[in-house]
Structures are given as C-alpha cells and as structure tokens.
Amino acid sequence: MAQSAPTPGTSHSHTADPGGVNPWAAGGTMFAGVLLMVDGVLEAIKGIAGIVSNTVYARIDDYVFKFNVTAWGWIHVALGILLVIVGWGILRGFGWARGIGVGLAALNMIANFMWLPYQPIWAVVSLAIDTFVIWALCTDRSKVLI
C-alpha cells in the first residue's frame, strides 16, 4: 500500500515546528522531574552524612565559603527535601513546580559549586543534573508557566 504524502501544513519529522512542542524538551521535562527527585535524595544523603559525622568530608582550612560541616549538612538536607517535593510536583504536572524547579535547581547549583572542595565528584554530578533540569524545564513550552 502506498504511503500518502503529508498534507500542506503538517510535518512528519521528529523536530518541532516553530509554534509546536519540542519532543526532546517535553520528554526531558518528565526526566527532569525524576532527576530532581534523585538529586534531592542525593542532597539529603550528603546532608545526613555531614550532620552525623564531622569527619566524613575533607576539612578545608582556607576557603572563602567555609562553613561548619554540620551547617552544610543542614543546607543539603533542606535543599534535598525541597527538590524531592518539586520533582514530585513536576511529575504530577503542576505548573508551579516548573518555575520553582528552575529556581531550586539554580540555587542547588550555587550550593554545590560552593561545596566543590568538600566533595568534588558529588558536587560535579549534582551540577550536571541541575544543568539538564534547568534546560529541560526552560525549553518545554507545552504548558504555560503563568
């Protein structure tokens, strides 16, 4: 059976038309929700480790953003809880969660950049996750944020 040609104004390509939805970004938004939840759990684990033991992370003597490891622990636990809640909101499709997700991912990037000397690998992984989350939430236009 012969395949019919597309009618004018329709497209069979996998790229988004100028007014349409980018399928990569739409799928990325769902993945961003999952990543926010995973990143939140990782943040909470980092935080709990810092709260339970002051010796679990490297000691930094001369660092501009030097805090007590316990203080860093509470910062990471709080961010982790918020990230999990917002990630859940994104998966449920709540409009408020996308805007707050961008803001929290940006705040988490700043915190992990400041955390870099204490745990470089964990911090870089969180920075990469947050970068993708911000991209995915900012490029998907399937729902209006306002």
pTM over 0.85: no
pLDDT of residue 69: 76
Residues 104 and 83: beta-carbon distance below 8 Å: yes
Q: Is residue 24 part of a domain?
A: no
For residue 136, give the H/E element and its range.
helix 120-139
Overall number of domains in the chain:
1
Q: Is residue 99 part of a domain?
A: yes
pLDDT of residue 106: 96
Structural domain boundaries enclosing 46: 34-139
Q: Is residue 83 part of a domain?
A: yes
| Average pLDDT along the chain, 146 residues, taken 10 residues at a time | 51 49 68 92 90 71 68 90 95 90 94 84 90 88 53
Report in angstroms the alpha-carbon separations of 57 from 51, 62, 102, 139.
Answer: 11, 15, 28, 36
